[in-house]
Amino acid sequence: MNIALDMMGGDYAPVETVKGVEEFFTGGSKDVNLLLIGDESQVTPLLPPTLGSNKHVKVVHAPEVIGMHEHPTKALKEKQKSSISIGFHLLSTGKCDAFISAGNTGAMLVGALYSIKAINGVTRPTISTVIPKDNGGTGLLLDVGLNADCKPENLNQFALLGSLYAKHINGVDNPRVALINIGEEEGKGNLLAQAAYPMLKENTAINFIGNVEGRDIFKDKADVMVCEGFTGNIILKLAESIFDITQEKNITHDYLERFNFENYGGTPVLGVSKPVIIGHGISHAKAFANMIRLAEKMIESDLMGKMANAFE
């Protein structure tokens, strides 16, 4: 399999990106070919001998970089030799099987939506985040910011996408799907939640268990939790702040360490035809290595193919 990695995306690129590639191969993977997209004059000198001579590593020259604060659509159009533009070109033409970047999030989303398109039948792709449960398990929350406003049918589709991800990536058999709400009873919530509930209840492709409240998110109540991106992003940023505070106050606990985003790498765009993974702008080596591992798992499981079949 061929995985393309944007070497120039992120606050600490390309130094930490190179370290992430080295960490990935140290883990013993032999079936992955990595296409390192970036400025050769910056990337090549950073490659240690183990990577420079590795037949599974190839540097793809990209002389331009899309900055973090550039307008996504304009930048993709005007900077066609940027690392992100070249990455999506490789993905759309079949020269790689997945594309990863911790660069401009907007450019990654626009590229995913317009370069490789949504799966037929998916009205809105979504992004998710991993939720560490207090019992050691792993939950999934979506949407977490791509779709701030949603219709009930969007949440219904997010539930199916999330259920497939939880099953094939998180290894959860028959994942329990819940709707984030302000009460457990049917009929609770705003107009969106009230309209989405019966759709989810009638969806035979998922294991819908009803509503969960905010206090249930980190408990073992559900494996997939669905909401619109406005609520999801607030929950995500709250979870990130919990980890930041523990670091600032030197509070250590195995459970709190699981809030470190670098343990999971990045978030995949679910509902598009090929694997696209978006990393945090402050990603270090560990996050990049884990993003590559996630891409590898998504390709091996043919997750996108299974999602496409589910929407036929």
How many angstroms separate the CA atoms of 70 and 59, rounded? 25
What superfamily in CATH does domain 124-260 come from?
Answer: Isopropylmalate Dehydrogenase (3.40.718.10)
pLDDT digits (tens, 9 = 90+) for 57-87: 999 999 999 999 999 999 999 999 999 999 9
Same topology between domain 1-122+271-312 and domain 124-260 = yes
Q: Where are the domains of the chain?
A: 1-122+271-312, 124-260
In 3D space, the residue among 96, 107, 110 whose CA is nearest the CA of residue 8 turns out to be: 107
How many angstroms separate the CA atoms of 57 and 98, rounded? 15
How many angstroms separate the CA atoms of 312 and 298, rounded? 20
pLDDT digits (tens, 9 = 90+) for 179-191: 999 999 999 999 9
CA-atom Rg of the chain in angstroms: 19
Place of tokens 């679910």: 270
CA distances from 113 to 79, 107, 150, 274 (A): 18, 10, 17, 11
Q: pTM for this one?
A: 0.92
Place of tokens 């995306």: 9
pLDDT bracket for residue 229 (50, 70, 90)? very high
Tokens coding 155: 């949440």
* DSSP track, 204-237: TTSEEEEEE-GGGTTTTT-SEEE--HHHHHHHHH
Tokens coding 147: 């779709």
Domain made up of 1-122+271-312: CATH architecture: 3-Layer(aba) Sandwich (3.40)
CA distances from 121 to 86, 153, 206, 312 (A): 27, 11, 17, 7
Average pLDDT over residues 292-308: 95
pLDDT at 265: 86
- For residue 195, with 0-12 CB atoms within 10 Å meaning exposed, 13-18 middle and 19 or more buried, which class applies? middle
Q: Identify each DSSP E strand in the chain by its residue range.
A: 2-6, 33-38, 57-61, 98-101, 126-132, 138-142, 176-180, 207-212, 224-226, 266-270, 276-279
CA distances from 65 to 60, 91, 127 (A): 13, 18, 24
pLDDT digits (tens, 9 = 90+) for 14-54: 999 999 999 999 877 768 999 999 999 999 999 999 888 88
List CB contacts of 238: < 8 A, sequence separation 6 or more. Answer: none
Average pLDDT over residues 126-148: 93
